[in-house]
Amino acid sequence: MKVMIAYDGSRNAKLALAQTVSLFRCNAPTLVLVGVAENPRDATDANEDLFQEEYEELKAALKEGADFATREEFDVDWILAEGDPRKMILRATQKHQPDVLVIARHSNKPDGGIIAQSLSYFVDELDYMTFGSVSSFLARRVECPLLILPSP
């Protein structure tokens, strides 16, 4: 069995990885972590520097996630792609043909005070009404079962 996980090192991605390990442990699957660094929209030096910084952070996050899964005694592989996350994750499923694709709902949980928490609550309520753009895109196009894990 092969389980592919869209992984960006975010809090929700880490929770999704931990849940996946827990859910699929009895099947002893190979886990494939997929991270996508978005290309800069223009080729200015500042954007290229930001892209390289994001690329290195994502690469470190993928290694950290793979190390976690390895410690949990899973066979692990990881992929770092560049481009549109929706299209690159879809392409990864077409190439590697996992038995299931796992993605976490995306959110940026603030650490701020009451105003930030209120805004976060409002955004979460709106977010519950619809999937994110990556989730929505993949739900319509991916050719394997898709598991979208909610954020706690």
pLDDT tens-digit readout, 44-86 = 777 788 888 999 999 999 999 999 999 999 999 999 999 999 9
pLDDT for res 110: 47
Q: How many domains, in total, are found in the chain?
A: 1
Mean pLDDT of the chain, nearest integer: 85
Mean pLDDT (whole number) for 78-103: 95
Between the alpha carbon of residue 120 and those of residues 11, 70, 84, 132, 135, the distances in Å are 15, 34, 26, 15, 20
* Dihedral pair phi/psi, residue 122, rounded to 5°: -60, -45
End-to-end CA distance of the chain: 27
Positions of E strands within 9-149: 30-37, 75-82, 100-104, 146-149
Q: Which of 20-24, 28-32, 37-41, 105-109 has the lowest mean pLDDT?
A: 105-109
pLDDT of residue 65: 96
pLDDT recorded at residue 135: 84
In terms of residue numbers, what domain contains 134? Answer: 2-149
Of 44, 107, 48, 31, the closest CA to residue 82 belongs to 48
Q: Mean pLDDT, to the nearest integer, of 116-135?
A: 60
What sign results for the dihedral spanned by CA atoms 20, 130, 91, 7? Answer: negative
Between 45 and 97, the more confident residue is: 97
> Which of 1-10, 101-110, 138-147 is predicted least confidently?
101-110
pLDDT(17) > 90: yes
pLDDT at res. 118: 58
Is 110 or 152 the better-scoring residue by pLDDT?
Answer: 152
Would you say residue 140 has pLDDT above 60? yes
Please state the rounded mean pLDDT for residues 8-26. Answer: 93
Query: In this structure, what CATH number is given to the domain that contains residue 38?
Result: 3.40.50.620
DSSP conformational letter for 152: -
Q: How far apart are CA 88 and CA 91, in angstroms?
A: 5
